[in-house]
């Protein structure tokens, strides 16, 4: 990290600075669904159903496995932001180095265990013999990209922490662009089918890692190598990194379990209601993509302020990023309220599903407003590395969620299910609000 960039951490926290961090993330996130659509589209040109199913299930299996290591993105972001704010360029590089090593080792482990991984996945979600065979070929190729994919979490976290979100956008555009280009060539041009889709992704992942390392080359600037190597195995910092990442992982697993429970319980409401819920959950996914940028800005700016031990800057960073988060949530809520019926019709062709989804659309329209506090506090607490508090807030909120399900689902049916999800997000926001004074206290 260049010394001129260290000074950037102490620059005034303004609305312009918040948007400079947030908007590239929003644009970066917008490219993610495009890649999935192209993957499905190119194999769909083969005129068979099995390749589409194989690519879909293979991608889900790998995404679920890699997601376990999503804590590397968040944990790296918080720890690096604090080092950046404190002007500790050695620790900034050391955090990235440790995270990269974790990613490479974890990825190598997945390669070694790929047979067991595929077996376990198809025990949980069995498919036809043809789909399973094709999916195994897909996984067998893509699994060689595991070290690169997991290491990229660390690189993304580092870039966010030091406010280089334009670089995150460039990285995402490169990975998706290479993937899409090779998809078209390998599948439509060379006729490689499912292996072609997997090979395209594999190449995109490894070239993305190369580009990512170049984008964060300042973390390992000449003159810092020896100091960084000496710091990599520092016992105190390793324990802190382990604590932060473990807390985030527990919180994320519990949160994912809550959403999975929502889907499973929705299945008990009938096929039409299940389909309607799946359509409406895409609105929540859009919300996450659109508002992530402001939470990431909070991670960076709050983390830097905590590292610099400037309590006033912590509060200003929290307030300004949250103001933009609330603004975004209001705009999304209005879009969902007025344009929601049309969006539903585009996503679902079945009139019964369309009608049912419209019944529950108000829950989605108010969803961004209900959830924004919890999403912004996630970013604030990650920046402050108060991950234990974030974990405890999540555990407490899930208990409230379970109680709401027990009370509301039997009496209100699917409305009770959506109400319980609203209760979960409300509880998350309230419990983290109770812990917020600790964020400012950490900067004292």
Please give the Cα distance from 227 to 316 (Å, whole number).
33
Yes or no: say if 363 and 298 are a contact pair by the CB < 8 Å rule.
no
The DSSP annotation for 42-108 comes to: HHHTT--HHHHHHHHHHHHHHHHHHHGGGHHHHHHHHHHHHHHHHT-HHHHHHHHHHHHHHHHHHHH
pLDDT tens for 328-373 read 999 999 999 999 999 898 877 788 989 999 999 999 999 999 999 9
User: Residue with structure tokens 């400037």?
Assistant: 310
Residue 132 clears pLDDT 50, i.e. is over it: yes
Please give the Cα distance from 377 to 306 (Å, whole number).
15
The DSSP annotation for 148-186 comes to: HHHHHHHHHHHHHHTT-HHHHHHHHHHHHHHHHHHHIII
Terminal Cα-to-Cα distance of the chain (whole angstroms): 26
Please give the Cα distance from 160 to 166 (Å, whole number).
9
Of residues 427 and 39, which shows the higher confidence score? 427
Of residues 260 and 425, which shows the higher confidence score? 425
In percent, the amount of the chain with pLDDT more than 70 equals: 96
Both tokens of 311, joined, read 């309590």
Q: What is the largest CA-CA distance in the chain?
A: 66
Axis crossing angle, helix 146-161 with helix 271-307, rounded to the nearest 10: 50
Quote the Cα angle for 363-366-372, to 5°. Answer: 125
Mean pLDDT of the 390-419 span: 97
Mean pLDDT of the 110-135 span: 85
Give the per-residue pLDDT at 4: 40
Q: How many helices (H) and strands (E) does the chain have?
A: 19, 0
Yes or no: say if 19 and 97 are a contact pair by the CB < 8 Å rule.
no
Mean pLDDT of the 35-47 span: 71
Of residues 125 and 351, which shows the higher confidence score? 351
């Amino acid at each position: 990290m260049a010394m001129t960039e260290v000074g950037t951490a102490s620059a005034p926290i303004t609305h312009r600075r918040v948007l400079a961090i947030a908007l590239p993330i929003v644009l970066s996130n917008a490219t993610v669904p495009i890649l999935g659509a192209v993957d499905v589209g190119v194999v769909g040109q083969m005129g068979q159903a099995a390749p589409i199913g194989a690519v879909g299930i293979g991608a889900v299996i790998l995404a679920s496995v890699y997601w376990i290591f999503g804590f590397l993105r968040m944990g790296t972001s918080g720890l690096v932001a604090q080092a950046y704010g404190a002007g500790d360029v050695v620790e900034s590089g050391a955090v990235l180095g440790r995270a990269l090593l974790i990613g490479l080792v974890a990825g190598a482990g997945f390669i070694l265990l790929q047979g067991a991984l595929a077996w376990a996945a198809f025990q949980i979600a069995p498919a036809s013999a043809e789909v399973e065979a094709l999916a195994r070929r897909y996984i067998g190729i893509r699994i060689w990209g595991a070290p690169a994919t997991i290491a990229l979490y660390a690189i993304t976290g580092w870039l966010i922490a030091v406010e280089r979100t334009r670089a995150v956008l460039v990285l995402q555009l490169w990975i998706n662009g290479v993937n899409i280009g090779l998809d078209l060539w390998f599948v439509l041009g060379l006729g490689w089918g499912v292996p072609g889709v997997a090979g395209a992704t594999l190449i995109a992942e490894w070239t993305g890692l190369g580009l990512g390392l170049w984008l964060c080359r300042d973390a390992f600037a000449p003159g810092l190598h020896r100091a960084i190597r000496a710091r990599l195995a520092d016992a105190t910092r390793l324990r802190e990194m382990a604590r932060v990442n473990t807390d985030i992982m527990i919180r994320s697993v519990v949160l994912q379990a809550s959403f999975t429970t929502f889907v499973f319980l929705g299945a008990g409401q009938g096929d039409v209601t299940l389909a309607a819920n799946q359509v409406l959950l895409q609105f929540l996914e859009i919300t996450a993509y659109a508002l992530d940028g402001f939470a990431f800005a909070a991670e960076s700016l709050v983390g830097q302020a905590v590292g610099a031990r400037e309590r006033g800057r912590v509060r200003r960073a929290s307030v300004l990023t949250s103001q933009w988060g609330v603004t975004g949530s209001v705009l999304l809520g209005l879009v969902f309220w007025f344009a929601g019926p049309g969006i539903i019709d585009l996503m679902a062709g079945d009139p019964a599903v369309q009608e049912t989804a419209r019944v529950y659309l108000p829950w989605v329209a108010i969803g961004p407003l209900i959830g924004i506090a919890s999403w912004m506090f996630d970013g604030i607490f990650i920046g402050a590395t108060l991950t234990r508090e974030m974990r405890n807030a999540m555990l407490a909120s899930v208990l409230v969620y379970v109680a709401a399900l027990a009370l509301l689902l039997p009496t209100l049916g699917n409305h009770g299910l959506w109400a319980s999800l609203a209760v979960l997000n409300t509880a998350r926001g309230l419990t983290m609000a109770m812990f917020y004074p600790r964020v400012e206290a950490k900067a004292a």
